[in-house]
Amino acid sequence: MKQSAKLFFHTLFRRKIVVVAALIILFFFICAVASPLLATHNPNEMILKDKLQGCSAEHLLGTDQLGRDLYSRIVYGSRIAFIVGVLSVILAGIVGTIIGLVAGYFGGIVDSILMRIIEAIMAIPSIILALALVAIFGRSFLMLPVVLGVSAIPGYARMMRGQVLTVRELDYVQASRIRGNSSIVTMAKHIFPNCLSPMIVIMTQSIGSTILGEAALSFLGAGIEPPTASWGAMVNDGYKYLYTNPGFAIIPGVAVILLVLAFNIFGDGVRDALDPRMRGGK
């Protein structure tokens, strides 16, 4: 076990770009955890006479339309990106895994019904689905991961189902059934662990797109309640001042790209490290 973990990290960090990605994620993670220490101002403090300033020693990245410090708001915004991004992937991953396991294991009518529901959810454009769910559940801190998670469930469920179908008829699964293990035990102890690694891969890879989803939602004004800082909402605020202060809208977007890019590259790295074909070779 220890050996395989060592091999995993060795393969993961063999490529320098993955190391850089991991460092960027770490950097934003530190921003999220230590926001009060790193921010120079209170992110929600409005000083109207200082509004829409450019970069200066006092305000590193300038101020927004309400005189709030942009740098501090970007630092605090990393919290929303992280919490919403990671939580909704975990939520959707758990629900998707269960649906996929059940559909793949039982097959037949259960499979048909579950897959049709999954396909129905997939047919609704994800941003519209998210907006509708916001209208139903509200936009509190705890509901946002749920809202963004729902549109990610189909991907996980289909992935898991495909995996289950490939191992379902294998000898060790049959053996578990013959021993008289219940379906739940067979699924949890014998099928699930063998379908886990592709699941981890797509979960890591989709953190980035979830962060993008959160940014899009808050850009449309349906993200976290203001005044809490969120990168997407900041881009939207800056949009109105594009003519005079282009930096205001552009800088928060750069933060989104950096973090999403880092997560995507890291996700690809995890995929390669978990792929036995990629190990060992140079």
Partner 1 sequence: MGRYIVKRLLETLVILFIISIIAFAIIHLIPGDPVYIMLGTDINQEFHDQVYREMGLDRPLVDQYFYWLGRFLTGNFGHSYYFKQEVSQVVAARLPITLYLGVFSSVFSVVIGIFCGVITAVKRGTWLDNIITVLANIGIAMPSFWLAMLLIWLFGIKLRILPTHDFVMPSVNLKLSLQQMVMPVICMSVGGVASYTRQTRSSMLEVIGQDYIRTARSKGLTESRIINKHAIKNALIPVLTLIGMTLRGCIGGSAIIETIFNINGLGRVMVVALNNRDYTTLQTGLVLLALITCLCNLAVDIAYAYVDPRIRLK
Closest to 89 measured CA to CA, from 263, 268, 261:
263
156: tokens are 């996980």
Give Cα 90 to chain centroid, integer Å: 8
CB-CB contact of 268 with 205 (8 Å): yes
The least CB distance from residue 256 to partner 1, in Å, is 6
Upper half-sphere CA count for residue 217 (Cβ side, 13 Å)? 37
Nearer to partner 1 (CB atom), residue 199 or residue 256: 256
State the Cα–Cα distance between residues 156 and 192, nearest whole angstrom: 13
The least CB distance from residue 252 to partner 1, in Å, is 8
- List alpha helices for the chain, DSSP H: 2-12, 16-33, 35-38, 70-106, 108-123, 126-137, 143-150, 153-167, 171-178, 183-185, 192-219, 231-239, 246-274
Binding window for partner 1 (CB under 8 A); candidates: 60-68, 92-100, 184-192, 228-236: 228-236
> Is residue 242 within the footprint of partner 1 (CB under 8 A)?
yes
- Sequence-distant (6+) residues with CB within 8 A of 17 are 265, 269
> Is residue 278 within the footprint of partner 1 (CB under 8 A)?
no
Site for partner 1 in 97-136 (CB under 8 A): 116-117, 119-128, 131-132, 135-136
CB-CB contact of 87 with 94 (8 Å): no
Nearer to partner 1 (CB atom), residue 164 or residue 187: 164
CB-CB contact of 229 with 73 (8 Å): yes
The least CB distance from residue 47 to partner 1, in Å, is 25
Nearer to partner 1 (CB atom), residue 13 or residue 239: 239
State the Cα–Cα distance between residues 148 and 87, nearest whole angstrom: 10
Nearer to partner 1 (CB atom), residue 105 or residue 231: 231
Binding window for partner 1 (CB under 8 A); candidates: 24-32, 43-51, 67-75, 246-254: 246-254
> Is residue 176 within the footprint of partner 1 (CB under 8 A)?
no
Nearer to partner 1 (CB atom), residue 101 or residue 114: 114
Closest to 215 measured CA to CA, from 205, 229, 227:
229
Nearer to partner 1 (CB atom), residue 31 or residue 256: 256
Candidate list 26, 170, 175, 257; residue touching partner 1; CB under 8 A: 257
Nearer to partner 1 (CB atom), residue 39 or residue 115: 115
Q: What character string, x for contact with partner 1 (CB under 8 A) and - otherwise, covers 60-99?
A: ----------------------------------------
Residues binding partner 1 (CB under 8 A): 116-117, 119-128, 131-132, 135-136, 208-209, 212, 215-216, 219-221, 232, 235-236, 238-239, 242-243, 246, 249-250, 253, 256-257, 260-261, 264-265
